[in-house]
């Protein structure tokens, strides 16, 4: 089974590195070719185009469905590559976080029109989880396709949960992102309260980590809050996008979404203030400023 990966950003690059180590072979493509240098040095093959990266299984680690669509079509797109190599039923894995509703429509269309089997498998665990090969994958798709992907997921994830048909993984990720955003916002507000009364941030975070308030979010973001260094990491812009998808899903099902709406507004203010490319833990700046 030939495997390729498209998209070597903060999450895609460490995922690709673990796949090379785990599978022994991998083809990679990135719009900026130089970003493939490190994983190519580990043994991956650099594709000249998405068509050149056509394989039995293609993983995309791209922000949203428009970016996935952009690598599918055209003379150098994946669809052209699959036709050229006579691959009748390739599997496309969408690792990015996208709209659950749009994901279902996208998967149905590709299957009906091109014979492409689509599995959505959004990731949680951040860059540290990707580097350690300990991501949590929330998966939607045909059970047989998901089962066949087990050897591909093994080098990159410690938790793989299949929720149901296409779009189910994205819905689970939307739930995940509400919890992540809510935890970040709660910790940021707690730090602002501690600051006003002169408490040590380091001491407070140590105390929280040792009790019921402890979390992976706290563990991963602690140093950012202590150093106030919010460069890189999971962007506030992407967090806002994910919360928008969660609100859409909640509205469609008439599900409660008061907290989601509040979190959406907070991250919208952060992005509007020009901090959209900062790590989402930088919400501290927005809350502290009261803007």
Catalytic residue list: 173
- Smallest Cα–Cα separation from 23: which of 159, 161, 154, 145? 154
What is the rounded end-to-end Cα distance, in angstroms, of the chain?
52
- Smallest Cα–Cα separation from 6: which of 109, 88, 41, 45? 45
- Tokens matching residue 194: 């501690």
Q: Decide: helix, strand or coil at residue 41.
A: helix
- Smallest Cα–Cα separation from 97: which of 171, 28, 27? 171
What is the Cα–Cα distance from 197 to 204, expressed in whole angstroms? 12
Q: Is 114 exposed, middle or buried (0-12, 13-18, 19+ CB in 10 A)?
A: middle
What is the Cα–Cα distance from 177 to 194, expressed in whole angstroms? 26
What is the Cα–Cα distance from 266 to 263, expressed in whole angstroms? 5
What is the Cα–Cα distance from 46 to 38, expressed in whole angstroms? 11
* Cβ atoms of 119 and 141 closer than 8 Å: yes
Q: On the CB side of 249, how many CA atoms lie within 13 Å of its CA?
A: 25
- CA dihedral sign, ordered 42, 45, 47, 51: negative
Cα 245 vs. chain centroid, distance in angstroms? 13
């Amino acid at each position: 089974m030939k495997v390729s990966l498209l998209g070597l950003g903060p999450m895609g690059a460490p995922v690709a590195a673990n796949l090379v180590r785990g599978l022994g072979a991998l083809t990679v493509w990135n719009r900026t070719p130089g970003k493939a240098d490190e994983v190519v040095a580990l043994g991956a093959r650099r594709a000249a185009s998405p068509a050149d990266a056509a394989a039995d299984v293609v993983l995309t680690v791209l922000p949203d469905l428009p970016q996935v669509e952009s690598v599918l079509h055209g003379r150098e797109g994946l669809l052209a590559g699959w036709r050229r190599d006579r691959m009748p039923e390739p599997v496309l894995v969408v690792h990015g976080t996208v709209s659950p509703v749009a994901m279902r429509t996208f998967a149905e269309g590709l299957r009906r029109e091109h014979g492409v089997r689509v599995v959505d498998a959004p990731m949680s665990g951040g860059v540290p989880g990707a580097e350690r090969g300990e991501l949590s994958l929330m998966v939607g798709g045909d059970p047989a396709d998901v089962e066949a992907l087990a050897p591909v997921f093994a080098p990159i994830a410690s938790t793989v949960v299949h929720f149901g048909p296409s779009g189910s993984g994205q819905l689970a990720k939307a739930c995940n992102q509400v919890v992540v955003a809510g935890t970040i916002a709660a910790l940021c507000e707690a730090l602002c309260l501690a600051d006003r009364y002169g408490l040590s941030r380091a001491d407070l975070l140590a105390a929280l980590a040792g009790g019921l308030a402890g979390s992976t979010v706290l563990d991963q973001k602690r140093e950012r809050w202590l150093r106030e260094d919010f460069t890189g990491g999971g962007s506030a812009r992407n967090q806002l996008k994910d919360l928008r998808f969660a609100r859409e899903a909640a509205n469609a099902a008439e599900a409660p979404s008061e907290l989601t709406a509040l979190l959406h507004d907070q991250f919208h203010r952060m992005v509007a203030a020009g901090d959209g490319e900062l790590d989402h833990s930088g919400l501290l700046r927005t809350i502290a400023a009261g803007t």
